[in-house]
Amino acid sequence: MIGNTIAEMVKVVDFVERFGSDHGIPQSITNDLNICLDELLNNTISYGYTDKATHEIVVNLSLLDGVLTAVLRDDGMLFDPNQPLPIRSSGDLKSRKIGGVGLHFVKSLMDEVVYRRVGRYNETELKKKFRRGVDDGNC
């Protein structure tokens, strides 16, 4: 569990790294998950709250039958990452508006992204399948 500040996000990185190491998850998979959680947490913390109050964000990890699952739960504004997003591909990098590509990364790095609203909470579930010895970045 972390608070809704950017400074707290390092705790999630450490948690994911420790979980990956303890369960023999390939570093490439751990890295992908950290990238996705960074994007989702950053969005939640930066845009999900209309007040300045302290909020709790929960990240749970599990591993079952070669599927790494992360569940992110927050009480921020409703935000479904599976809603269609406009792809901003026109113009050069300097002239483009910021945003709109992070969720595309999340969807491309994970095998499944499931969103649900449970009462006043957003729950986003990320799933990544892997086979030991195959997805570890070695040739």
The string of pLDDT tens digits covering residues 39-87 is 999 999 999 999 999 999 999 999 999 999 999 999 999 877 777 655 5
The answer to whether position 137 is within a domain reads no
The answer to whether position 134 is within a domain reads no
How high is the pLDDT of residue 84? 64
- 15-26 pLDDT, tens per residue? 999 999 999 999
The residue type found at 127 is K
95 pLDDT above the threshold of 60? no
The answer to whether position 139 is within a domain reads no
106 pLDDT above the threshold of 50? yes
The answer to whether position 95 is within a domain reads yes
Distance in angstroms (rounded) separating the CA atoms of residues 48 and 77: 5
pTM over 0.85: no
106 exposure class (CB count in 10 Å sphere: 0-12, 13-18, 19+): buried
Contacts of 81 (CB under 8 A, 6+ apart): 40, 103, 106, 107, 113, 115, 124
The answer to whether position 138 is within a domain reads no
Distance from first CA to last CA of the chain, Å, rounded? Answer: 37
The answer to whether position 120 is within a domain reads yes
pLDDT band for position 128 (50/70/90)?
very high
The answer to whether position 52 is within a domain reads yes
| Domain CATH code at residue 115 | 3.30.565.10
Q: How many domains does the chain have?
A: 1
Range of the domain at 110: 2-129
How high is the pLDDT of residue 137? 40
User: Look-up: residue for tokens 């002239």?
Assistant: 95
The answer to whether position 103 is within a domain reads yes
